[in-house]
Structure 1
Amino acid sequence: MGHSADPLSCVFELISCIQVNKRSRLGVLIRKPIPMASYMIRKAKPEDCVDIVGFIKELAEYQCMLDQVDMTPAKLEADAFCTEPFVNLLVAVCSKSNQTVGYSSFSYTYGSWKGRTVYMDDLYVSPQHRGAGLGTSLMQAVAKSAVERGCNRMNWIVLSWNTRPKELYARMGADNLSEKEGWQSISLFQDNLELFADKLGANPKILFDL
């Protein structure tokens, strides 16, 4: 987003109504100043991947898991901007500095109980830009995209010790399924995933046509 050319840092809207001047009886258009928005949330572009990966590492460091991150800008760009993207990315941009200050990443999945689902993997705002509602707005943008795609559920995870966002999520009306239903998140990472996949076909009683 470029800087405004207006030295007053605001844009003007022409009001359609006409005010009649009592002396001249001539119509005049009123110009009403509208403050410029502080931030813009938009779909990410390939050139945003460098900033996003920087945020990914900042978030992982806050979560004390930086050693687990092997994401690179090239890898993220390949996965997000291919013919069938694996991930969708939104960024928040500061209007004054034109700098990217936050992001969210999400993908569409499917649940056998509810059908179309969106999973939000990451949500992050730079510390110096928190408190302006960017986190909530990024989540709302993900939710809006999900509704437009016909999803009826939005999932994400949060660390058990990170109490502040959990309180926010509860006020939003979100359910903590770990507490409510006892669900736990399970993952197979690359090495074990490949070992497990390599065992396909080891059972002679089962044939595959995939």
Structure 2
Amino acid sequence: MTGFTIRDATAADVPDLLRLVRELAVYEKEPEAATATPEQFAAALFPPRGGPTAYALVAERAGHVVGMAIWFPSFSTWTGRSGLWLEDLFVEPEQRGLGIGTALLGRLAQVCVERGWTRLEWWVLDWNTPSIEFYRAHGAVAQDEWTTYRLDGEALARLARS
């Protein structure tokens, strides 16, 4: 795993993080869904007051950001301990196969172990076979017995008003 570095993101990385998120949205066939702004990313990752609500790692190669992992802490009521929720892991397609994704995922596992956290979890789209195979190769196990639900938009607003 040479030729790249993994590091914590800085405020200067926000444009690259947004670029990679938008590339991920295109890959996931929802380019219009990636509407986050630089200001929103900066407020979440590098707030002027208080702690961040999300964190990011970046992978750099030849002076360019080519990959990222965006995550936030979670909590398990069953174990009574925190975990890590991986929101997005993305490596530019032309940079894949170099160990960058493995290094990003490995660094997240290190964060969990260092902090005594019990879980590293994420979603992957059912049709995303390359990612599923990548995760399985690292020992990840699908949680197929769970169904994800989401409230957003008008349904979220309506429930909030009730």
Provide the TM-score with structure 2 as the length reference. Answer: 0.92
Other-structure match for 2:32 = 67
Mapped partners of 2:134, 2:70: distance in 1: 19
Mapped partners of 1:46, 1:75: distance in 2: 12
Structure 2: which amino acid aligns with 1:74?
A: E
1:119-152 Cα deviation digits (max 9, x unpaired): 0010011112111000010011111112212211
Other-structure match for 2:55 = 88
Deviation at 1:60, TM superposition (A): 0.4
Mapped partners of 1:117, 1:197: distance in 2: 28
Pairs within 5 Å for 1:167-182:
167-178=133-144, 182=145
| Root mean square deviation of aligned Cα | 1.2
Other-structure match for 2:86 = 120
Provide the TM-score with structure 1 as the length reference. Answer: 0.72
Other-structure match for 1:41 = 6
User: Could you list the runs of 5+ residues in structure 2 that have no partner in the other structure?
Assistant: none
User: Could you list the runs of 5+ residues in structure 1 that have no partner in the other structure?
Assistant: 1-36, 200-210
Pairs within 5 Å for 1:1-210:
37-82=2-47, 83-94=50-61, 96=62, 98-114=63-79, 115-178=81-144, 182-199=145-162
Q: Give the structure, 1 or 2, with the largest relative contact order (CA under 8 Å, sep 6 or more).
A: 2
Deviating above 3 A after TM superposition, structure 1's stretches of 4 or more consecutive aligned residues are: none
Structure showing greater Rg:
1
Structure 1: which amino acid aligns with 2:32?
A: D
